[in-house]
Amino acid sequence: MLVAKINGVTFKHALPQNVAKKMCQEIETARVLTNTARVLLTDNVAAGDKIGEKTARKLLLSRRESWLTSLIAANARLPLQRRATLDRCLKLAAGPVPWGQSREKVSVRARLKPSGGVRAIYNFGLEHRARQHSINGVMGGYHHPRPFQLQGHYKAITRTRALLTSGFTYVASLDVTNFFGSFEFEKLAPELPLPVEVVKHAVVGRQLRIVLDRSTETKHSYHLPALHQQDLVSFHRTFVNMGLCSMGTKADETLKVLSDALREECKKISAAHKANIYLSGTSMGIRTERSGKKIVSADQEDQWEYTIERPRSSKSKRRYMIKLTIKLSNFTG
- CA distances to 176, 179, 212, 223, 329 from 117, rounded to whole Å, are 15, 14, 18, 13, 20
User: Which helix H or strand E contains 25, and what residues bound it?
Assistant: helix 17-47
- pLDDT value, residue 326: 37
76-105 residue pLDDT tens: 999 988 899 999 999 999 887 888 878 888
- pLDDT value, residue 290: 35
In terms of DSSP bridges, do strands 209-212 and 105-112 run parallel, antiparallel, or are they unpaired?
Answer: parallel
Q: Which residues contact 113 (CB under 8 A, 6 or more apart)?
A: 119
Q: How many CB atoms lie within 10 A of CB 88?
A: 17
CA dihedral sign, ordered 189, 192, 195, 198: negative
Q: Which residues contact 177 (CB under 8 A, 6 or more apart)?
A: 115, 328
139 closest CA partner among 92, 95, 199: 199
Q: How many CB atoms lie within 10 A of CB 131?
A: 28
- pLDDT value, residue 153: 65
208-254 residue pLDDT tens: 777 777 664 555 444 444 444 455 444 444 445 555 555 555 666 66
138 touches 61 (CB < 8 A): yes
The whole-angstrom separation of Cα 203 and Cα 197 is: 9
User: Which helix H or strand E contains 163, and what residues bound it?
Assistant: helix 153-165
In which residue ranges of the chain is pLDDT below 70? 114-118, 144-153, 156, 167-183, 205-206, 214-333
- pLDDT value, residue 73: 94
